[in-house]
Structure 1
C-alpha cells in the first residue's frame, strides 16, 4: 500500500509539474542581518514549500533569512500539493525546502521498517537522499511533527493520564477515541497502534468498535477538547490548535509513531557553491521546537496572521534579522 501511494504521488507529479511550480502565498518581508554582513551575496536561490501552514511558515522564515544574508531569493513557497515542491528539488528547479524524515522514509522511498530513534532515521534518510538525488539533509531541527494522541487538560487530569500506557490501563469504557479515516486505515496507524499497546481494536477487553468515532481531522481537535464523543483524539504534534484548545499530548511510551523531524534540505550543488547556507539554516534549526511551531502555526491558523509577517516577527524577536 505504501509503495502504491508513492507510485500515485509520482503520477500526480507528472500531471502537475508540467504546469510549473508557482507560489500561492505571496512573498516575504525584506530584512538584513544585525551585523550588516551578507555571506550569501551573489547567490541566487529558490525556496519552495508545500502548501500547508507549517510548510509555508518554514519557507517564509527561510526565504526571509537567506535574503537578509544577501541572497537573491525567489519565493516559491506554498506549492499546491506535496508532489510539485518535491519534484522541483529533485529536478533542480528549487534549491531549499523543509522536509520531514518520516515523509521521506515512507512516502518518497516506500520503506516499511519503523525506526523509532530520530537520529537513526535522519541518518538513513540523509544517506539515501544524498546518494540518489544529491539532496543534503542538514541536521534536523528540534521539532517533530508526528502523529500523537491528546486529551483535554481537564480529561487528562480527571483520568490521571500522561501517556498511552496510562490509557491502556484505563477501564474499557474510558478508552474512547476520535480519529480520521486516513489514520484509521493506515498500515502504521490506529489499529496497529492499539495492538502495540495491548488493547486491540474491536475486542471486548481492548477497544470495542463502538468506542471509536471516525470524523474529519479538523473536527477531531474540537471533539477532543470537548471530551465528546471521545476522551482521546489523534493530533499532529506541532498543530497550533493544541495550544489554543489546551490539549495535553500523551507520551508515546513504546515509540510506535515514526519520527517526522523537520529538516532543511538543500541541493548538493548549491550547498557546495554556498557553504554558508548550512550555518544559516542551522541557526534556524536550533531555535525551532515543538512549542515554537505550535505558537507560530497558531498565529496563522487561529489568529489569522499572514505567514510572511509571522516569519519576519519571529526572526526579528530571535535577533536573527532587523
Structure 2
C-alpha cells in the first residue's frame, strides 16, 4: 500500500510539473504560452507555437483566457508560463513606483525592456509590429456632420454623450478617466463600464454615443466608426511585444531566434484582419496564423 501511494504521488507530481512551463515531450521541451481573453494574444500564441514546432524539436502549449495582463506577468514570474504577448503601455500599470511616464513609443518600450528584465527576469522583445492603443471612436456620420476629428472636438457635446468603455480604463491611474479629465478639461455626461464585445454592441444599438476602442479592433471599420486624434497626446503607446522568461530563452537559443525573427512582422492592419476572420468569420486562430506565416514567407506550405 505504501508503495502504491508513493507511486501515485510521484505520478501526480510529474503531471503538475509537466503542466507548467518548461515541461518535457518526446522530442524536446513543452513551453507554455499564456494568452489573455482577447484574440490578438491568442493569434500571437499560435504564431509562436507553429514556428517553434515547425523549426525545433520543442512543443508549445497555449493557455488561453487569462483575465488580465498582470496575471500573465505574475505567472511568468512564477515560472508557470514561458512566453506571452504584452503591450508597452503595461509598464504604467502600477508595477513600479519610480517609472517616469512618457507617451513616446520608443522610450516606453525601452523602459519596459529594462524594468521587466531587472525586476521579473523577463526579456521584452522589440515590437512584433502592431499597436493596440486606446482611441475614442464615434459613429462616422456624427463625426462628419459635426466636423469632429480630434478628441478636443468632443468638448462641446460631452455633457450629452454616453461613453462605453472597458471597466479597467475607468480605474487606471496615468492614462485612465480621471487623468483624462485633468488633461482635456471636460468629462462625459455618463460612463458605462462593460466587456469589450458588449461595448461595440451597445454603440451599434445607440445605447452609448462613443466608445473607448482599441486601435486593432476589427469592429471599428465593421460598425463604421471613426477613431479620433489624441491631440493632447494623452494616451501612452501600446506596442505589442513577445516576452519570454530569460531562463528559458538562454537555455534554448533556437527559440530566442524565432522571437527575434518575429520582430516587426505583423502590421496593425494585418492583425486587425486576422482578428476579424476569427471573431466574425469563425475561423480558428491556428488557421489564420498559419495562413499569415505562409503569406509572409515565414513558413513553407
TM-score category by the smaller chain? 0.7 to 0.9
Aligned partner of 2:46 in structure 1 is: 60
2:208 is the counterpart of 1:223: no
Preserved contact between residue 278 and residue 285 of structure 2 (Cα < 8 Å): yes
- Cα distance in 2 for partners of 1:137, 1:94 equals 14
Aligned partner of 1:156 in structure 2 is: 143
2:67 is the counterpart of 1:81: yes
2:90 is the counterpart of 1:90: no
Aligned partner of 1:106 in structure 2 is: 93
Aligned-pair CA distance for 1:86 = 2.9
Distance of aligned partners of 1:152 and 1:172 in 2 relative to their CA distance in 1, 3 Å threshold: closer
Distance of aligned partners of 1:225 and 1:285 in 2 relative to their CA distance in 1, 3 Å threshold: farther
Distance of aligned partners of 1:115 and 1:309 in 2 relative to their CA distance in 1, 3 Å threshold: same
- Cα distance in 1 for partners of 2:266, 2:193 equals 31
Aligned pairs, number: 275
Q: Any idea what SS the aligned residue of 2:40 has?
A: helix
Preserved contact between residue 32 and residue 80 of structure 2 (Cα < 8 Å): no
Preserved contact between residue 129 and residue 136 of structure 1 (Cα < 8 Å): yes
Preserved contact between residue 44 and residue 85 of structure 2 (Cα < 8 Å): yes
Preserved contact between residue 151 and residue 248 of structure 1 (Cα < 8 Å): yes
- Cα distance in 2 for partners of 1:173, 1:225 equals 21
2:27 is the counterpart of 1:49: no
- Cα distance in 2 for partners of 1:269, 1:20 equals 16
Show the 5 A alignment for 1:1-322: 44=29, 46-52=31-37, 53-78=39-64, 80-82=66-68, 85-109=72-96, 113-168=100-155, 170-171=156-157, 175-187=161-173, 188-199=175-186, 201=187, 207=188, 211-217=189-195, 218-225=197-204, 228-322=206-300
- Cα distance in 1 for partners of 2:257, 2:67 equals 29
Aligned-pair CA distance for 1:56 = 1.4
Structure 2: gaps (5+ residues): 1-15, 21-26
Aligned-pair CA distance for 1:146 = 2.6
- Cα distance in 2 for partners of 1:192, 1:280 equals 39
Q: Any idea what SS the aligned residue of 1:248 has?
A: strand
Q: Any idea what SS the aligned residue of 1:98 has?
A: strand
- Cα distance in 2 for partners of 1:90, 1:186 equals 23
Aligned partner of 2:8 in structure 1 is: none
- Cα distance in 2 for partners of 1:111, 1:221 equals 36
Normalising by structure 1, what TM-score? 0.74
Q: Kindly report the root-mean-square deviation, in angstroms, between the aligned alpha carbons of the 2 structures.
A: 2.9
- Cα distance in 1 for partners of 2:230, 2:94 equals 22
Preserved contact between residue 21 and residue 88 of structure 1 (Cα < 8 Å): no
- Cα distance in 2 for partners of 1:297, 1:229 equals 25
- Cα distance in 2 for partners of 1:127, 1:171 equals 42
User: Which sits farther off after the overlay, 217-226 or 117-126?
Assistant: 217-226
Aligned partner of 1:7 in structure 2 is: none
Preserved contact between residue 141 and residue 286 of structure 1 (Cα < 8 Å): yes
Aligned partner of 1:12 in structure 2 is: none
Q: Deviations over 1:178-225 (max 9, x none)?
A: 3344433433322321331122x3xxxxx4xxx224152333213334
Structure 1: gaps (5+ residues): 1-18, 24-41, 202-206
Distance of aligned partners of 1:304 and 1:260 in 2 relative to their CA distance in 1, 3 Å threshold: same
